[in-house]
Amino acid sequence: MYREQSLYKQSGAGLPVAIFMITVLALLVIGMAQLQESSGKSVSLQIQSQRAFFAAESGAQLGAGRALQSINGPQCFSGTFSFAAEGLRECSALVNCLANAPGQGIVIRSEGRCGIATLSEGKRTVEVRLL
């Protein structure tokens, strides 16, 4: 009985190939996780921005309604509106009225903000001219 020589002379690339494959797969998983996280943040910002637009538009409509309620013609109204409706919860609109020269009407500027004091805060501005 003698020892088989082929067992001692084996040299393979199995371990280095396995370590390389594990490293590549780990980097791929990390890259996909970062892509998923940034995609989620982007969607959140887009939703907050859209909500802020609707809050600004609602604020402009409320400001225009208040301005047009006057019997003597359009009167400036400025103020802040906070919304309690389901789609605009935690949103607000800051309405500013700018009076122009007589006969040129007024301009209502409404700034909508949603997600205030968060990383995904959205802010949009809408301007309306009343003649």
Task: Identify whether 115 is part of a domain.
Answer: yes
Task: Identify whether 1 is part of a domain.
Answer: no
pTM of the model: 0.70
One digit per residue, pLDDT tens: the chain, 131 residues?
556 666 566 677 788 889 999 999 999 999 999 999 888 888 888 888 999 999 999 999 988 888 888 766 667 878 888 888 888 888 999 999 887 666 677 889 999 999 877 777 889 999 998 87
Looking only at the bridges linking them, the beta strands covering 79-82 and 91-99 are: antiparallel
Provide the pLDDT for residue 53: 94
Provide the pLDDT for residue 43: 86
Task: Identify whether 112 is part of a domain.
Answer: yes
Task: Identify whether 68 is part of a domain.
Answer: yes
Residue 66 CB neighbour total at 10 angstroms: 19
Task: Identify whether 8 is part of a domain.
Answer: no
Task: Identify whether 49 is part of a domain.
Answer: yes
Task: Identify whether 4 is part of a domain.
Answer: no
Total domains in the fold of the chain: 1
Question: Do 64 and 130 contact (CB within 8 A), yes or no?
Answer: yes
Domain residues for the domain of 104 are 14-130
